[in-house]
Amino acid sequence: MNVKVKICGITTPEQAEQAQRAGADAIGVVLYESSVRQVGFQLAKDIISTVDSGVCSIALVVNASTSRIYKIIEHLKPTFLQFHGDESPEFCNQFNYPFIRAIRMRADLDISSAIKNYEAKGGFLFDSWDDKLYGGTGIRFDWSRLPKQRNFPLILAGGLTCENVKDAIQTVHPYMVDISGGVESSPGIKDPYLVKLFIQNVKG
């Protein structure tokens, strides 16, 4: 099983280049002002400009305005948008642009209802629930809650580390794994050794 790796929360072009050299399949930038890994528009553009063909660039947004989404599409041209907030299917679908929909695993969540009507060509990313944070929690959820049978690409996030990712892959069989804090020396600073080790552990 060829599981893909997304390194999210990239904050410099150098980090993006290091992650790609280590074998990352996708590079994520965070355009959410409240995140410790947030980057400005020009820096996001500089990071995305380093992304090789064959590697995905992903722009993460949380409850952004319609005009901001159109600006991201026009100027950054990411491979995918990633809607990580409370965006409705109608909001996400209106741009006619490939996107990933993040689902935060609240205790009483019904997954079938949560993903209904989203035209998420990039798949659904499942992340840990926090009533204050939109992602970046560093906490894992109960992977057994995820559906075994599915007709969409499943991206696993939330509390992944170099130590637990093999177990995660055996349990969930995801299309892609997504990591941010688990390969950092401090918030927003990726550790090249941990990035390389994580990717090696995924790709075996």
pLDDT on residue 121: 97
Q: For residue 162, give both structure tokens.
A: 């170099």
pLDDT on residue 128: 83
Q: For every residue of 129-178, which 3-state class applies, written as one string?
A: CCCCCCCCCCCCCCHHHCCCCCCCCEEECCCCCCCCHHHHHHHHCCCEEE
Helix (H, G, I), strand (E, B) or coil at 195: helix
**Catalytic residue positions, numbered:** 8, 127
The answer to whether residues 105 and 158 touch, using CB atoms and an 8 Å cutoff, is yes
Cβ-based neighbour number of residue 122 at 10 Å: 21
pLDDT on residue 140: 81
CATH number of residue 108's parent domain: 3.20.20.70
Question: In the chain, how many domains are there?
Answer: 1
Measured CA angle at 151 (ends 199, 182), to 5 deg: 25
Task: From 50, 49, 102, select the one nearest 76 (Cα to Cα).
Answer: 49
pLDDT on residue 204: 84
Domain that holds residue 85: 4-203
In one-letter notation, the amino acid at residue 188 is G
pLDDT digit of tens for each residue in the chain (204 aa)? 699 999 999 999 999 999 999 999 999 999 999 888 999 999 999 999 999 999 999 999 999 999 999 999 999 999 999 999 999 999 999 999 999 999 999 888 899 999 999 999 999 999 986 666 555 556 788 899 999 889 999 999 999 999 999 999 999 999 999 999 999 999 899 999 999 999 999 998
pLDDT on residue 1: 64
Using the structure block, give the residue that is written with the tokens 């980090």.
15
pLDDT on residue 108: 86
Task: From 126, 118, 194, 130, select the one nearest 154 (Cα to Cα).
Answer: 126
